[in-house]
Structure 1
Amino acid sequence: MLYRKLGSQGLTVSALGLGCSGMSSDYGVRDDVESTATVHRAIELGVTLFDTSDAYAAGRNEELLGSAIKGRRDGLVIASKFGNIRGPNGERGGTNGHPDYVPQACEKSLARLGVEVIDLYYIHRVDPDVPIEDTVGAMGRLVEEGKVRYLGVCEAGPQTIRRAHATHPLSAVQMEYSLWTRDAEAEILPVLKELGIGLVPYSPLGRGFLTGAFGSRDDLIATDRRHAHPRFQEGNFEKNLALLEPIRDIAAARGATNGQVVLAWLLAQWEGLVPIPGTKRRTYLEENLGALDVTLEPDEIESLSRALPPGAASGLRYPEFQLKKLGI
């Protein structure tokens, strides 16, 4: 396993983490037995960063991860989030970054995870009605109390990141970043490099699309959340299939998979980022970790960057109303 420093506050993690959200919600059918086996296999292979949230399946994902790491906690970096409110059946309930809510959310996450401290704690979505200084100030008090080790924010704009970091040093910012979602490059990455904050890209495989796993929209079951994402909707989906050709060409020449090439491209963008590809299957976990053995040549990196420039994908990464709420 390779390791990377995430930010400048002392946090070191495996160069690839494991996103756990899909184990309990959104993508496909749940399989707690295989998901648990996947977490165990990740630990065996040296993965240390495991990412969850109290919003994933209304806390059930934290419970699953907590059960899976029981007796295996040492050396792991458990990351969770709060503030993205979900009902018991996944109903969206807005955001909550009020200072009095922060410790309440943390206590519940600690209990579900079965741990005494959360290693990396994020505000999952910034509350537009609460100054970020108030939210992060309350998060900082959790650090002082020993309930949290490091702090992060998700899907925040550059000025919000600056204000949050000035309140309490951040170790990471989590946002979507991949070959077909390159929004972070214009303003976010320069700020993170300046301030010494790491980047944790989620959906680094484009929610699976960039792996070439889907030949048509029929490959997604009816309840799969990806149907709600514009890039997976009729018309956009078919246009986006053309984006896979340059990835496929390099993968074939390398004897690698599409996903390994996509992750290798992302890892080459900056040593301060740690992607968290999500899966609930050991087979895909092992395939993803194989990306660490793929070192792309500069001309290959440049070729992919030219073939999939910012804005290349057909359709927004989220429905427009959700993007407006992000305020980025």
Structure 2
Amino acid sequence: MKKRELGKSGLYVSEIGLGCMSLPDDLATSKTIVDAAIHAGINYFDTADLYSGGINEEILGSALKGKRKDIILATKAGNKMNSDGNGWTWDSSKEHIMEAVKNSLLRIGTDYIDVYQLHGGTMEDNVEDTIDAFESLKKDGLIRQYGISSIRPNVIKRFLDTSSAVSVMMQYNLLDRRPEEWFPLISEAGASVITRGTIAKGFLTDEGLARAEKANGFVDYNASELTRTVEALSELSEDLHATAIAFVLRDQTVASALIGARTTKQLVDSIIAYEKKATDEEIKQLESIAKIHNYNEHRV
């Protein structure tokens, strides 16, 4: 498993990271998945305080016991759970972030977080207040680096322009190429992209066509366009899963491609796909089929 530097942070993350939102709430099953990921060379694990109301952080922390020093741990804050436990509200204030990090540290069972991310963002936020929180946490040693998880270009640009953020998490895959327009901006800011939705809800796997036929579209593809596109991609590629992962990693702006797994088999399938690689020619052929869309809202 190769590693890439996350921005200019000095942190080197595995090209495949484990997106932990998909982990089951059963500790034994999740521990098996996490152990298999580490055995495969994955060192980047991403969670959030919002996932399962904090249970996901607890599960991941328990699964990583005794292995903390070997991994890069990322979590997120900004979504405040309502007091009744039903739903959440957006809160990017320094006060909330300073409290949220303490709760995440307790749930995970660690003294520090490697990459702490703002879990969203709007142009109405007091971004100076938010960034002050992250910088204070860095100074206190509670986090090593920070970033943002967002698909809003204007929010991302403002955050990068006024901070020392090292990462931007965005949905990016062959069927959602909107982030490509903003890769130069992110790279010039000294940050890296962490991709989520790397295999597009499974549309970019061996099961892709069957899934597409049951779906009501994806991003800017309507239902029929999605089916036709996935069918064409599948016909051109010997292993669509492998090519989809290779496509995401072809640009050095991307530091790590997150995959989710509810079972060890799903994880192993993605690891095999990553190790199989794909030729530059095959990637170019698939690129010619996949549309390049742009974000229509929240533009710079």
Q: Answer yes or no: same fold by TM over 0.5.
A: yes
Deviation at 1:218, TM superposition (A): 9.5
CA distance in 2, matches of 1:201, 1:184: 10
Do the aligned partners of residues 189 and 90 (structure 1) sit closer, same or farther apart at CA in structure 2, a change above 3 Å counting? farther
Deviation at 1:269, TM superposition (A): 2.8
Matched, 1:202 2:196: yes
Contact 2:177–2:292 (Cα < 8 Å) also in 1: yes
Give the equivalent residue in structure 2 for 1:121: 116
Aligned residue type for 2:54: G
Contact 1:132–1:160 (Cα < 8 Å) also in 2: no
Deviation at 1:260, TM superposition (A): 1.7
Deviation at 1:181, TM superposition (A): 0.8
Give the equivalent residue in structure 2 for 1:16: 16
Deviates more, 1:157-166 or 1:101-110: 157-166
Deviation at 1:169, TM superposition (A): 1.0
The counterpart of 2:34, out of the listed 39, 47, 52, is 39
Contact 1:247–1:261 (Cα < 8 Å) also in 2: no
Give the equivalent residue in structure 2 for 1:264: 246
CA distance in 2, matches of 1:198, 1:218: 34
CA distance in 2, matches of 1:152, 1:80: 10
Aligned residue type for 1:202: R
CA distance in 2, matches of 1:87, 1:43: 35
**Could you tell me the percent identity over the aligned residues?**
28
Contact 1:81–1:122 (Cα < 8 Å) also in 2: yes
CA distance in 2, matches of 1:85, 1:238: 38
Instruction: Output aligned runs, 1:295-306, within 5 Å.
Output: 295-306=277-288
Give the equivalent residue in structure 2 for 1:93: 88
CA distance in 2, matches of 1:283, 1:62: 22
Deviation at 1:167, TM superposition (A): 3.6
The count of aligned residue pairs is: 298
Could you list the runs of 5+ residues in structure 1 that have no partner in the other structure?
25-29, 220-226, 317-322
Give the equivalent residue in structure 2 for 1:288: 270
CA distance in 1, matches of 2:26, 2:224: 30
Contact 1:205–1:259 (Cα < 8 Å) also in 2: yes
Aligned residue type for 1:209: F
Deviation at 1:292, TM superposition (A): 3.2
Contact 2:243–2:282 (Cα < 8 Å) also in 1: no
Contact 1:264–1:294 (Cα < 8 Å) also in 2: no
Matched, 1:71 2:66: yes
Deviation at 1:147, TM superposition (A): 0.3
The counterpart of 1:231, out of the listed 195, 217, 229, is 217
Deviates more, 1:43-52 or 1:238-247: 238-247
Aligned residue type for 1:16: I
CA distance in 1, matches of 2:275, 2:115: 27
Matched, 1:155 2:167: no
Could you list the runs of 5+ residues in structure 2 that have no partner in the other structure?
none
CA distance in 2, matches of 1:87, 1:218: 37
Give the equivalent residue in structure 2 for 1:247: 233
Q: Normalized against structure 2, the TM-score is what? A: 0.89
Contact 1:17–1:275 (Cα < 8 Å) also in 2: yes
The Cα RMSD (Å) is 2.8
Structure 1 SS opposite 2:99: helix
Give the equivalent residue in structure 2 for 1:109: 104
Do the aligned partners of residues 242 and 150 (structure 1) sit closer, same or farther apart at CA in structure 2, a change above 3 Å counting? same
Deviation at 1:287, TM superposition (A): 1.7
CA distance in 2, matches of 1:72, 1:89: 35
Matched, 1:192 2:186: yes
Matched, 1:132 2:114: no
Matched, 1:49 2:44: yes
Structure 2 SS opposite 1:100: helix
Do the aligned partners of residues 242 and 92 (structure 1) sit closer, same or farther apart at CA in structure 2, a change above 3 Å counting? farther
CA distance in 1, matches of 2:282, 2:213: 32
